[in-house]
Amino acid sequence: MKAGVEPLVNDGFAGEATKRTLGYLQKQREKGKNIVGIYCSYAPLELIRAANAAPAVLCAFANKTIEAAETVLPANLCPLIKSSYGFIKTDTCPFFAISEAVIAETTCDGKKKMFELISHIKPMHVMDLPQLPDQQEALNNWTAMVKKLKGFLETTFNRKIDDKDVEQEIKETNVKNRLMNAVFDFAALTPTPLSWLELYDLTYLGQAATTGDMIALLNECIVKLEKRVAEGVYHGEKNSPRVLVTGCPVGGDATKVFKVIEEAGGVIVALDSCTGMKPFAGSLEENTSDPYAAVARRYLDIPCSCMTPNTSRLTELDKMIERFNPDVVIDVILHACHSYNIESHKIKEHITGKHKMPFLKIETDYSQSDAGQIRTRVEALLEMVHKK
């Protein structure tokens, strides 16, 4: 990106995405909002916001707390779980510290058991996530879980959640998602006028910010991006290989993979994960007789690898490939994330078979020990497709 280009996100909170989001949440707390910790994209944000609360993502992506976590948790556990637990065990997680309640979802076995270890610290509500999403019973059961969450939030914060407030949040979420996708459309341009870091910052903040604040910010971003396009400003080189990154949630120390891709000459144009574009892909049905069922239906459609059969992930990948026109697909798998690791075989067959595209699977954790190996593999991949 050219020097002197106006930052896409300039909201007064300097620093990386986590610091910016923490600063935002602290401001919300000062305004009288409650803070609710969440661990997954399945947490219904519309209900949290209808309760005059703000969500704080508690998943951690730092290597520094893993050693402390391994005094309790097995070493061969997912680094995201170990890092998250390590921050709580060492009492160094500012997001957990400001959270007054925690919502947990039964996505994977590691998280479920970790929730038991921390359930005594703060009020916690565990949502039983159905994992056969195509079954009618799944929708019925998840709707019941959403309504139980309503009761938990009302009791915890002594506040009535009105159906009209939930409906209003549904409508505002749809506006926000449309604007977020309007920003993503700029990533689909060749060459692209925005970087992976800007995409990451927006999607990270998009989970925590109120819909009103996020809508205002996204409108500003669109104006800035239009200006960049008009002035011929773009990221990378015009012939840089375009990369779609899919797989596990990636943040913090794990963004080493993104940095290596960029340093190797690639341009990341799509982040297909729950820390990327995935939470903003769909819309919620408006003006139904049951807004809680509408919320449940949308969240149940999120194609996480904990679901089976997870055919919708392939469908969504097809859409992203058509939209962002990548040259390669890189699947980032965190160590011991068995569901994404096993599913990677199916993703590879789909990408190399149907789309005839190069595919690379990277298994990693939050340490820097494998950065050189990752660099060698990424450079070899991009050299195959580098545009002359």
- State residue 19's pLDDT score: 86
Mean pLDDT of the chain: 95
Domains and CATH numbers, the chain: 17-159 (3.40.50.11890)
Q: Which pLDDT band, with edges at 50, 70 and 90, does 14 fall under?
A: very low
User: What's the pLDDT tens digit per position in 308-328?
Assistant: 999 999 999 999 999 999 999
- State residue 12's pLDDT score: 45
User: What's the pLDDT tens digit per position in 49-58?
Assistant: 999 999 999 9
Considering only 114-128, 184-198, 200-214, 256-270, which range has the smallest mean pLDDT? 200-214
- State residue 5's pLDDT score: 73
pLDDT at residue 13 tops 50: no
Question: How many percent of the chain have pLDDT more than 70?
Answer: 97
Considering only 6-10, 203-207, 354-358, 375-379, which range has the smallest mean pLDDT? 6-10
pLDDT at residue 388 tops 90: no
| Residue among 379, 346, 114 nearest 247 (CA) | 346
* Region 272-292 average pLDDT: 96
Predicted TM-score (pTM) of the model is 0.96
